[in-house]
Chain A
Amino acid sequence: MTKPIISTKDVHLFYGKKEVLKGISMDFYPNEITALIGPSGSGKSTLLRSLNRMNDFQDNVTITGSVNIEDKNIYAPTTNKVDLRKRVGMVFQQPNPFPFSVYENVAYGLKLEKKHTKEEIDQIVEDSLKAAAVWDDVKDKLHESALSLSGGQQQRVCIARVLAVHPEVILLDEPTSALDPISSGKIENMLLSLKDEYTIVIVTHNMGQASRISDKTGFFLDGNLVEYNKTKHIFMTPSEKETDDYISGRFG
């Protein structure tokens, strides 16, 4: 049995007095795609954002329990958030490239580290864009504004931007919900090809997407992790009635 790369223990999270996560304990394994599904407001995005402490930017957030990455609690006071986010990158729901050129978007994280030469950066930018399956679309307009690209291309540039800093874990928060099916398909295939190198956690509203690409699926409802198991198990023979109802479309 491999060791989990991230494991949360009894995570409770409050926005003000409202409890959004009610004790989540969950293990994420290396080189797997884990899908988090559940209706809106069930806490899956909140859990995702707590894995690299993006919730810190919200006001009035209290979090208890622990999130361990290789046995180190990232909520310990000694945690360096910059180092944490180097290891755990994130892609957001809306494609959010900076208003810079494609090249500068992808090079952004690398330039922050200040340890690469210009040639290395050029190479990494190209590799990242290739890995994100968007190189052919943008190779002729690397120095044009990323905002001139289509939504699907922008989202893949955003993924390339994360790949460039080479994190161990990539968190994706409904990355394809704003995209058309063809762009979504490209991103799904790309995620499958990235699995060998990265650990991927994806929040999705698309049942088909979860069943197509993920190894494990966790079903959230009202801040609880109702069921967490192999994707095949969740979709074919769910143990809980709520899971069954949700995936067969009876609510949510």
Chain B
Amino acid sequence: MNDPIRESMLKKSKAAKRETFGKTISFLAIAVIVAVVAAIFYFVASKGISTFTQNGVNFWDFLTGSTWNPGSKGADGKPLVGALPMILGSFFVTILAAIIATPFAIAAAIFMTEVAGKKGTKILQPVIELLVGIPSVVYGFIGLSVVVPFVRSIFGGTGFGILAGTFVLFVMILPTVTSMTVDSLRSVPRHYREASYALAATRWQTIYKVILRSAMPGILTAIVFGMARAFGEALAVQMVIGNAFTVPNSLTTPASTLTSVLTMGMGNSVMGTLSNNALWSLALILLMMSLIFNLVIRWIGNKGGNTK
């Protein structure tokens, strides 16, 4: 029997083979990514936990202790690894930067999408994208040579501190938050605008009551995204924050963040010692926080999706 049709039906076609090949490639790629992420989590977690398991530091003491000097021991014989100054520092700069950046970002995004015509957007869009691409060391350098002296001349002191860090982070996250807000405003369907105008709303009423409101999940996501970026930013902050391991009691005195302590300390500690393990614990906290930011973004996204 030699039936060519039967044969071709039973054999795998070229297209099917190509499909299997493509599926295998993309599966391998995703498997590598998942493996890398899992490995990073495992590595950071196992190192970070050893502070508590091997060196016997109480986890609660670690979070609430206010003295950071991993090389030496306190009066009670316990190691001085209180991370509270950095945790507070990180949260302060992040939240303050987000608070300042949000109104600017929303205003800029409204201008780009609703006020400026196509020409204005053509100029502003590349400017914003350019700002995203500037390396953080450049921001830090400008912060060091412009923002710090400026803060010093107005508030006195050294100029280093949370305020300087906030300003630098504000400029750094502004383009990210703005461009994401622009995207969410653009995705508001045109017919919402038309319906609003047809009900005798002015342009401002339409922007305020319909467009911003419909875009709110997207705008919140943009803000959280900016916060995640601010929380994780290391170099630029380290250059302007002053790097003092004390609980911040003013915006203009030197402080530190989780990231700044990490970049300062990683090269100067010996693997396996408490001071090294304590840094890993800080990294673990950072990782957990970015995970939380991620979950918040997803949660907002889902909530926004449900109302649609």
The residues of B that contact A165 with a CB separation of less than 8 Å are 199-200
Most buried by A among B191, B205, B214: B191
A82 touching B200 in the complex, CB below 8 Å, given contacts A98-B210, A147-B308:
yes
The residues of B that contact A92 with a CB separation of less than 8 Å are 191, 194-195, 198
Q: Is the CB of B214 within 8 A of A90?
A: no
Closest Cβ–Cβ distance, residue B193 to chain A (whole Å): 8
The residues of B that contact A89 with a CB separation of less than 8 Å are 198-200
Say if the beta carbon of B209 comes within 8 Å of chain A: yes
The residues of A that contact B202 with a CB separation of less than 8 Å are 82
A54 touching B194 in the complex, CB below 8 Å, given contacts A98-B214, A112-B201, A147-B307:
yes
A85 touching B307 in the complex, CB below 8 Å, given contacts A92-B191, A98-B192, A98-B214:
no
Q: Complex Cα distance A162/B192, Å?
A: 14
Closest Cβ–Cβ distance, residue A91 to chain B (whole Å): 8
Q: Is the CB of B214 within 8 A of A85?
A: no
Q: Is the CB of A85 within 8 A of B195?
A: no
Q: Is the CB of A145 within 8 A of B195?
A: no
A112 touching B198 in the complex, CB below 8 Å, given contacts A98-B214, A147-B308:
no
Q: Is the CB of A57 within 8 A of B194?
A: yes
Say if the beta carbon of B197 comes within 8 Å of chain A: yes
Say if the beta carbon of A161 comes within 8 Å of chain B: yes
B interface residue numbers (CB < 8 A to A): 189, 191-202, 205, 209-210, 213-214, 307-308
Closest Cβ–Cβ distance, residue A77 to chain B (whole Å): 18
Q: Complex Cα distance A95/B214, Å?
A: 17
Closest Cβ–Cβ distance, residue B219 to chain A (whole Å): 14
Most buried by A among B195, B209, B210: B195
Closest Cβ–Cβ distance, residue A29 to chain B (whole Å): 22
Q: Complex Cα distance A83/B205, Å?
A: 14
The residues of B that contact A112 with a CB separation of less than 8 Å are 199-201, 205, 209
Closest Cβ–Cβ distance, residue B308 to chain A (whole Å): 6
Q: Is the CB of A96 within 8 A of B199?
A: no
Q: Complex Cα distance A100/B200, Å?
A: 18
Q: Is the CB of A96 within 8 A of B200?
A: no
Q: Is the CB of B209 within 8 A of A108?
A: yes
Q: Is the CB of A90 within 8 A of B198?
A: yes
Q: Complex Cα distance A90/B197, Å?
A: 9
The residues of B that contact A176 with a CB separation of less than 8 Å are none
Say if the beta carbon of A86 comes within 8 Å of chain B: yes
Q: Is the CB of B197 within 8 A of A85?
A: yes
Q: Which B residue sits closest to A83, measured CB to CB?
A: B200
Q: Complex Cα distance A111/B197, Å?
A: 14
Q: Complex Cα distance A229/B284, Å?
A: 79
The residues of B that contact A109 with a CB separation of less than 8 Å are 199-201
Q: Complex Cα distance A145/B303, Å?
A: 13
A-B pairs with the 10 shortest C-beta distances? A90-B198, A109-B199, A96-B191, A85-B200, A86-B200, A96-B195, A82-B200, A99-B214, A112-B201, A99-B307
A-B contact pairs, 12 of them (CB 8 A): A54-B197, A57-B193, A85-B198, A92-B198, A96-B194, A98-B195, A98-B214, A108-B196, A109-B199, A112-B209, A165-B199, A165-B200
Q: Is the CB of A52 within 8 A of B198?
A: yes
Q: Is the CB of A145 within 8 A of B307?
A: yes
Q: Complex Cα distance A90/B194, Å?
A: 9
Q: Which B residue sits closest to A111, measured CB to CB?
A: B209
Q: Complex Cα distance A89/B201, Å?
A: 11
Q: Complex Cα distance A86/B205, Å?
A: 14
Q: Is the CB of B201 within 8 A of A82?
A: yes
The 8 A CB mask of A65-86 against B (1 = contact, 0 = none) is 0000000000000000011011
Q: Complex Cα distance A92/B308, Å?
A: 19
Q: Complex Cα distance A200/B307, Å?
A: 33
Say if the beta carbon of A94 comes within 8 Å of chain B: yes
Most buried by A among B191, B199, B205, B209: B199
The residues of B that contact A97 with a CB separation of less than 8 Å are 195
Say if the beta carbon of A158 comes within 8 Å of chain B: yes
Q: Which B residue sits closest to A164, measured CB to CB?
A: B199
The residues of A that contact B198 with a CB separation of less than 8 Å are 52, 54, 85, 89-90, 92, 162
Q: Which A residue sits closest to B198, measured CB to CB?
A: A90
The residues of B that contact A96 with a CB separation of less than 8 Å are 189, 191-192, 194-195
Q: Which A residue sits closest to B304, measured CB to CB?
A: A99
Q: Complex Cα distance A147/B214, Å?
A: 12
Q: Which A residue sits closest to B214, measured CB to CB?
A: A99
16 new A-B contacts, CB < 8 A, other than A54-B197, A111-B209, are A52-B198, A82-B200, A82-B201, A85-B198, A89-B198, A92-B195, A98-B192, A98-B196, A99-B214, A100-B213, A108-B199, A147-B307, A147-B308, A161-B195, A161-B199, A165-B200
The answer, among A52, A86, A99, A108, for a CB contact under 8 Å with B308, is: A99
Q: Is the CB of A158 within 8 A of B308?
A: no
Q: Which A residue sits closest to B195, measured CB to CB?
A: A96
